[in-house]
């Protein structure tokens, strides 16, 4: 059975998509062209040779674009390995914050500004409540990952947060939660909703929000007030997706989310000249997987909706994992706990070493004579 992939869709239909007049930002166009040309030779090649038998191996370079399904595996493994060394001895929790779909036109028109606001509000909500003595009374470590899609690749903006159930108190001691999430969900909901809408209102009043044609009525302050009131009435219910008591399991689990893109090659079931069919989870827990079919142009349109603005950091760190104080905080925590449970495993490894360690693939072995002397030829042809 032939394997299908996202690049097939681009090869069949991206030229027609570009000619259709559908708007593409510079970063979307770059992502699309990178995906189209990944491992095609357009980015040059790497070559290695066996000195024993003379066999020459040539490999096309990948595009390294963060939206490309071919280029995430190594980066994900390296990221997970670094985070392992930052895991403390405490429970961990996976919390998800979702914005109501009524905000979608505003979010899409103001992506960098409002995605950043979402990051900030999630972190402030978790940190302010965690520091309250009613809940944890300490500053936890938080890793946040922004996603903008659902299983059908529709626009669905939400934040995945991994939160440690232990943290540093103001007097620099460790405090741990029990095995249950320490903030009531309704408290989390009300704090997050109030914070996001208050800060969104401030941006509106400053004139910082760009309004698309579908949002034009919001230029009238009375319409804006009615819109904001309707959002307050919505149930912005965050939820606790998973609870981990296996420490490192939380980080391995989060690795599924960090370098994920809107859809992976493994979900593509079939590609024809006009349609693509992919698998999706059932709409309710326990429902079987289902097949979703889209036209090629609609598939490309949905995929490109989830290309983030240039330079936007979708993964961010807060609490004792804040980049400015992380090294000092972790040193103190490991000292107080008496051990560091995990160490990074891949630090300093070459790419050949990584491939051998992670996937047991030895690129130093000649596929023709079996010699272990395959060596790079020392240069890359074309862009790296």
303 closest CA partner among 19, 100, 29, 105 = 29
CB 321 within 8 A of CB 142: yes
Q: How many Å from the N-terminal Cα to the C-terminal Cα in the chain? A: 33
Given this model, what pLDDT does residue 84 score? 87
Given this model, what pLDDT does residue 357 score? 82
pLDDT digits (tens, 9 = 90+) for 15-44: 999 999 999 999 999 999 999 999 998 998
Element (H, E) at 195: helix 185-205
Given this model, what pLDDT does residue 254 score? 75
**Cβ atoms within 10 A of the Cβ of 150, count?**
16
Q: How far is CA 135 from CA 85, 130, 191, 217, 246, in A?
A: 26, 6, 14, 42, 22
Please give the sequence-ordered ranges of beta strands (E in DSSP) within the chain, or none if there are none.
45-49, 56-60, 92-98, 139-149, 155-168, 174-176, 239-244, 268-271, 275-280, 290-295, 315-319, 375-381
Given this model, what pLDDT does residue 380 score? 58
CB 305 within 8 A of CB 22: no
Please, what sign has the CA dihedral across residues 150, 151, 152, 153? positive
Low-confidence ranges of the chain (pLDDT < 70): 1-2, 245-248, 378-384
Cα–Cα distance, 38 to 61 (Å, whole number): 7
Instruction: Beginning with the edge strand found earlier in the chain, give each strand of the sheet holding 275-280 in spatial order.
Output: 268-271, 275-280, 290-295
Name 141's bridge partners.
319
HEC string of 38-72? CCCCCCCEEEEECCCCCCEEEEECCCCCCCCCCCC
Given this model, what pLDDT does residue 378 score? 57
267 closest CA partner among 66, 6, 1, 8 = 6
Given this model, what pLDDT does residue 379 score? 52
Q: Which residues of 243-279 are buried (b: 16+ CB within 10 A; e: fewer)?
A: ebeebeebbebbbebbbbbbbeeebbeebeeeebbbe
Structure tokens at 368: 């023709």
Give the phi and the psi of residue 105 in degrees, each rounded to 5.
Answer: -60, -40
Instruction: Work out the angle at residue 144's Cα, subtended by the Cα atoms of residues 142 and 149, and round it to the nearest 5 degrees.
Output: 155
Structure tokens at 312: 């936007």
CB 162 within 8 A of CB 254: yes
Given this model, what pLDDT does residue 384 score? 44
Please, what sign has the CA dihedral across residues 211, 217, 221, 225? negative
Given this model, what pLDDT does residue 1 score? 43
What angle, rounded to 10 degrees, do the helices at 6-19 and 296-305 form? Answer: 90
pLDDT digits (tens, 9 = 90+) for 339-368: 988 888 888 877 778 888 888 888 889 989
Name 142's bridge partners.
163, 318
């Amino acid at each position: 059975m032939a394997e299908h992939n996202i690049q097939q869709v681009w090869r069949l239909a991206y030229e027609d998509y570009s000619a259709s007049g559908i708007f593409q930002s510079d970063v979307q166009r770059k992502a699309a062209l990178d995906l189209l040309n990944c491992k095609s030779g357009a980015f040059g090649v790497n070559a290695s040779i066996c000195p024993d038998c003379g066999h020459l191996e040539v490999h096309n370079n990948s595009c390294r674009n963060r939206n490309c399904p071919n280029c995430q595996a190594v980066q994900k493994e390296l990221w997970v390995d670094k985070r392992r060394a930052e895991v403390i001895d405490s429970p961990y929790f996976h919390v998800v914050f979702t914005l109501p779909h009524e905000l979608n036109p505003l979010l899409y028109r103001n992506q960098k500004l409002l995605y950043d606001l979402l990051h900030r509000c999630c972190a402030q909500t978790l940190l302010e409540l965690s520091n309250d003595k009613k809940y944890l009374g300490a500053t936890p470590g938080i890793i946040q990952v922004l996603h903008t899609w659902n299983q059908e690749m529709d626009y669905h903006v939400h934040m995945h947060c991994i939160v440690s159930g232990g943290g540093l108190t103001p007097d620099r001691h460790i405090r741990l939660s029990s095995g249950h999430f320490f903030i009531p969900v309704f408290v989390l909901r009300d704090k997050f909703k109030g914070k996001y809408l208050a800060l969104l209102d401030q941006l509106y009043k400053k004139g910082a929000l760009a309004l698309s044609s579908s949002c034009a009525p919001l230029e009238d302050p009375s319409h804006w007030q009615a819109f904001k009131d309707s959002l307050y009435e919505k149930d912005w219910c965050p939820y606790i997706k998973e609870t981990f008591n296996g420490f490192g399991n939380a980080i391995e689990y989060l690795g599924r989310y960090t370098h994920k893109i809107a859809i992976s090659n493994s979900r593509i079931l079939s590609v024809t000249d006009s349609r693509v069919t992919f698998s999706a989870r059932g709409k309710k827990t326990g429902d079987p997987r289902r097949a979703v079919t889209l036209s090629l142009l609609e598939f490309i349109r949905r995929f490109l909706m989830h290309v983030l603005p240039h330079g936007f950091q979708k993964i961010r760190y807060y609490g004792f994992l804040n980049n400015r104080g992380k090294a000092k905080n972790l040193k103190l925590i490991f000292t107080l706990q008496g051990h560091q449970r995990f160490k990074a495993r891949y630090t300093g490894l070459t790419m050949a070493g990584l491939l051998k360690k992670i996937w047991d693939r030895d690129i130093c072995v000649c596929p023709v004579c079996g010699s272990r002397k395959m060596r790079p030829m020392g240069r890359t042809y074309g862009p790296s």
